[in-house]
Amino acid sequence: MKLNDIRDNPGARKGRIRVGRGIGSGKGKTGGRGQKGQKSRSGVAIKGFEGGQMPLHMRLPKRGFNNPFGKDFAEVNIGMVQKFIDAKKLDGKKDVTEDALRAAGLVRGGKDGVRLLGKGEIKAKVKFVVAGASKGAIEAVEKAGGSVEVTAPAKAEKAAEKAD
C-alpha cells in the first residue's frame, strides 16, 4: 500500500447538492424554494419576524441597566496571587503590577486596569500597584505585612489637571 492508494470508504463523503441545474436533477426550476412568496426570492433575511405578530424578543420585558460610563476592571483575587507566588510564576519580592499579573497569565481583559479582590488569603509580604482594590483585599494584604497602592485612572488625572 502506498500513500497515493489511500481513499475514503465509499459513501464517507457526500457531494454537495447543485441546486437549479435542470428539472431532471430533482432540485431544478425553483431550486427547492417552493412557489412564490417572500422566501422564494433572493435577499431575504427574516430572523425575528413572526408574520406581523410582535416578535418574542420585543414582547419580553427589558431587565437591568448597562452603565455606559462603568469601569471595566480585570479582577484578581488575593488567593490566586498567593497561589502563583507559591508556584514561582509571580515574583513576590518585586512590586506586583498590572504588567506582572498579565505576564504571569493571572489576568486578562479589563480596559481600565486590574482590581484586587479579597477572596482567599495571602501570606506573602507583597506590594501591589493596581487600579483598584476592595476594602477586604487591602486589609488582608496589610495584615500580611504588604501594601496596596491604588493608582488613579488616567482620565481622572486629566480632569484634575484641567480643574487647576
| Domain regions of the chain by residue span | 74-150
Tell me the pLDDT of the chain averaged across its residues.
Answer: 88
- Whether domain 74-150 has CATH 1.10.3720.10: no
Question: What global pTM score does this model have?
Answer: 0.56
Q: Strand pairing partners for 129?
A: 97, 149
What's the whole-number mean pLDDT along residues 26-50?
A: 89
Does the structure show a pLDDT above 70 at 156?
Answer: no
Any long-range contacts for 101-104 (C-beta under 8 Å, 24+ apart)?
101/76
pLDDT recorded at residue 146? 87
User: Is the torsion defined by CA of 62, 63, 65, 68 positive or negative?
Assistant: negative
pLDDT bin (cut points 50, 70, 90) of residue 155 is low
CB 104 within 8 A of CB 81: no
pLDDT recorded at residue 89? 86
Of 91 and 77, the structure prediction assigns the larger pLDDT to: 77
Compute the CA torsion angle 20, 26, 32, 34 (nearest 10 deg): 110
pLDDT recorded at residue 13? 95
Could you report the per-residue pLDDT of 22-36, keeping only the tens digit for each? 999 999 999 999 999
pLDDT bin (cut points 50, 70, 90) of residue 161 is low
What's the whole-number mean pLDDT along residues 59-72?
A: 93
Could you report the per-residue pLDDT of 118-140, keeping only the tens digit for each? 898 888 888 999 999 999 999 99
Q: Which of 80, 71, 69 is nearest to 109 (CA)?
A: 71
